Chains A and B, each alone.
Chain A
C-alpha cells in the first residue's frame, strides 16, 4: 500500500517555484487572504530585476504577513516583533551591497514598530519596505489596530471603532521616505512594477498594499473576500502623484491609490561613507 496510483509522475512546476520553499507550501494563510498575492508579486518583482538572488535579503517581523520570510528561498530573517526595520538597517549598514526587503504587516511596522519606521525613513535607509495592510491584527484574532478604519467592527470594538486610522503614505512622506506608493492586491501588475522600481532605486521606499483579511476582519464587517476585492475595484481612485494628505482610508468617499512620492535624497549609507569611511584610525 505504499504506491499511490493517483500521484503524478512529476509535479508541475509553477514559474516562481525556484524562489519559494515548495516543501512548506501550501502556506498557513487563510483561503481568500491577500498576503499570498502580495508575496508572489514581490517574488515576481525580484525575478524581474535580474539581480543575482544572493544579493537579496528579506526581513520580516511578527504576524501573518511576516511568515513570508519563511517561504522565500533566499537569505531571510524572521525577527522579533516590530524590529524588522532595525534588523534590516543593520544588515544594510554591514553590507551595503545587499538589496534588503522588509516584508511585514501593518501591526508590526506601525503599531509596535512605528518608531523604528519613522527613524529609518528620516535617515533614508536604503530599504524597500512592503507593508501588507489588512486593517486589523489578524494573527491574534482581529483586534482593533492602528489602521482599522473608523466605525469598523473588531473583536475589541464590537460597536465600531471610534478612532481615525493612520494614513500610512502621509506618515511615510512626513517622516522623509523618498518613494511612497499604495496599491491593492487587485492592481497586481502595478504593484509588481512598484516593488521592482523600489528595489532598483536607492533610498527608503515604502509600499503599502491593501489586502483582505476574510477571517478576522471581513467576517465581522460582513465582507466576503470577493466583496472586498469588489470594493477595491469600485471604491479606489488611481491618482499618481496625488497629495498623500488626501490618501486616508475611507471606502465611503474612495481611497486614493497610486505612486505618491518619488524624490531623490542622499541615503544614510552615502552620508555615512562620506563622514566616517575609511575610518580615520586606519
Chain B
C-alpha cells in the first residue's frame, strides 16, 4: 500500500463504526438469510452425523478405500480442509507483522474460518482410524502393554501438529477478540447479551497498562503462528514425502503443500469476504480495495502453486526413475487424468483473469474465481493421493478407487460442520475487528491532517 491511499473511507466516525459492527450480533440485521443459510448448513451437519454413525457401526469398509488405495477421501479432505485453514493464520499473523493494515477488515473472520476448518480437518484422521475408540493410543501414556507411540513416524507427528495448530489458533483468535467483546459488552442493552459479553470479555477495560502487555502478547503470538503454519503443512506433506510411493517421495512436497494451502485458503477468505460484505452491508469496511488486494494475493499464491506443478513434473523427469515416470504418465493420461487436468484447469485458467484490475475489484468475479480455485485444489489433493496409490511398484498391487456414497456424504457433511459453527460465530461475535479498524481509521485521519 502506498502511504497516501487510504483503504478505509475516512468519512466515517469511530463511534459509527463501533455501533455498526457490534450491532451485527446485538441487533442482527439479516435474520431471514441467516435462517436459510443455517437450515442448509444444519442439514449438511445432520448428513455428517448419519454418515459417522454408519461408519462407526459398519466400519471403514463402507468407504471406497481398498488396498492399495487405502487413504483416499479421508486424507484427501483432511489435507484440503487444513490447507484452507492456513490462510486465516497467514492473513492475521503475517500481515500483522508486516504492518499491512488492510488485514484489519479481514482478519477476524479469516481466523474464525481457520478454527472451524481445522476442526473439519481434525475429525478425518479420527474417522479413518477404523477403531476410533483407540485414539488415545496416539498419546504417550504408561500402557500396561509397555509400549509407547512411535515418535519417529510422521503419522505420530500429525496429531501433535494439528492439535497444536488448533490450540494456538484458538488462543490467537481469542486474544484478538477480547477488546471487541468488551466493546460489544458496553453497547449491549439486553440482559442476556450483557452477561454473555460481560463474561467473555473477562472484564477488559482498555487500560493503557493492559494494552501494553496485550500488544506484546498478540504480536509475539503472531510471530509464532507464522512458522507454525509452515511447520504444520510441511509436516502434513511429510505424511506423503516420507513414504516411498512414486509421486510422493519428493523434497518439493513441503513448499508445494504450504503454497497450495495458502492458495486454497485465500480463495475461501475471498468467498467469505464477498459474502459477508454483501450480506451485512459492510462495503465501508471491506472495500473494493480489499478485494483488489485479495485478488492480487490469490494470483500470487496461485502462480507459486503453478510453479510447484512445473517442478513436480521436472523432478520426476529429472530423476529418470522408472516408477516416478510411470506415475507421471498415469497422472497425465491414466484412469484419473481428469483429476490432474481438472486441477490444472480449475486452479490456473480462471485465475488469469485476476491480472485485470476491474476483475479483482468486482465482487462476484472474485467469488467465481475463488470457487473455481477451491474446486481445483480439491481435485489436486484427490490427484496426489489416488494417482500415486492406485499403481505403485508391483502390478499385483494395482487397483482402482471409486468413492462410495458414504465418502461423498461424509465430505459434504464436513461442509456443514464448517458452516454451522461459522454461522453461529457470525451471530455471536463481531466478525470484523472493531478496535483495529478504529485504530486504522484514526491513523488515516491523522495522515490526512498532516499530509
Do these two chains really belong together in a complex?
no
